[in-house]
């Protein structure tokens, strides 16, 4: 009985660790560098760019959210990447459905 409970505990811990390691948000997308992944302005831009594309809005980069010129450039790059990646993934999904 004790062996069975130890085996069940080890199996559940192993599965939990594997699920934590296998999330897509842990790894940068192919278009992102590690520096961009840890840059808050860039990540904010990617997020807002994806939201705008999901809503069907025209791209509008609101750089006034960031005071520093480097942060503004990072935000702009992230916004454009997030916007275009969402549109590309949506058109790719539509292409697969048509086949």
Backbone angles phi, psi at 28, to 5 degrees: -70, 155
For the chain, domain boundaries: 28-98
Contact between residue 78 and residue 43 where contact means Cβ atoms under 8 Å apart? yes
pTM: 0.60
Backbone angles phi, psi at 8, to 5 degrees: -65, -40
Q: What is the pLDDT of residues 33-85, one digit of tens each?
A: 777 778 899 999 999 999 999 999 898 898 888 999 999 999 999 999 999 99
């Amino acid at each position: 009985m004790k062996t069975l409970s130890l085996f069940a505990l080890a199996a559940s811990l192993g599965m939990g660790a594997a699920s934590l390691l296998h999330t897509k948000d842990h790894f940068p997308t192919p278009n992102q560098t590690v520096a961009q992944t840890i840059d808050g302005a860039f990540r904010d831009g990617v997020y807002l760019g994806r939201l705008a594309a999901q809503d069907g809005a025209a791209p509008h980069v609101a750089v006034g959210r960031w005071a520093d010129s480097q942060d503004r450039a990072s935000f702009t790059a992230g916004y454009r990447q997030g916007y275009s990646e969402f549109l590309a993934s949506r058109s790719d999904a539509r292409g697969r459905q048509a086949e």
